[in-house]
Amino acid sequence: MTKSDFDFFVNNVIKEFYGEIKKIDEEKYSGKVLDFRESKLYCIFNYYESFRKDMRRLYMAEESKPMDRHKIAANMMIAILKARPIKINLMIPNLPLELLLANEYLSFCCALDIVEIYRRDAGNEKFSLILPGTYIEEEDDRTSYIQNICKALYYIHKPSLSDTLAYANILFMIEKYTDTIYANE
């Protein structure tokens, strides 16, 4: 990923998802909970490039072969988790999960968006991932699935390159689930 590609990604994906999370902060807490640290963007880029190079070197038989969209998205997910660009004011009690797990939400939503972008670029312009429900259905089953993933990400205190393959597999399974739903419509 070039620096200009990353800047485009920051402005059109990362900041868009942060804006959605920040709306909750603005509405309920007058913007006192979340703070986006621009200085962490450089860290995200460097972590992403480092994880991408290590992924190629350690886990890909042919380093010249293009990396699939799931691994690219998983590398970005790990980079965001490691950089933690959103500072959260934990002094405010009873924060909703969307704010308490803001970095996890940001990383997972950005990863989902990367998979969608690649599918749209491949010719499926209206492609949108469909998230499965969970055993504990709430009013919005998509929210509960995202909450479960973000909780799991939260409890992994030090994300590492070895986690990338597991995250890539989760993204692959979500995409295959979506393909199955579309095929049955």
pLDDT digits (tens, 9 = 90+) for 32-89: 999 999 999 999 999 999 998 888 888 777 767 788 899 999 999 999 999 999 999 9
Q: How confident is the model at residue 156 (pLDDT cuts 50, 70, 90)?
A: confident
Exposed (0-12), middle (13-18) or buried (19+): which is 179, by Cβ within 10 Å?
middle
Average pLDDT score, the chain: 88
Q: What's the pTM? A: 0.89
pLDDT in tens, 140-155: 545 578 888 998 898 8
| % of the chain residues with pLDDT over 70 | 94
Backbone φ and ψ for 29, nearest 5 degrees, come out as -130, 15
Q: What is the pLDDT of residue 124?
A: 82
In the predicted structure, residue 130 carries a pLDDT above the cut 70: yes
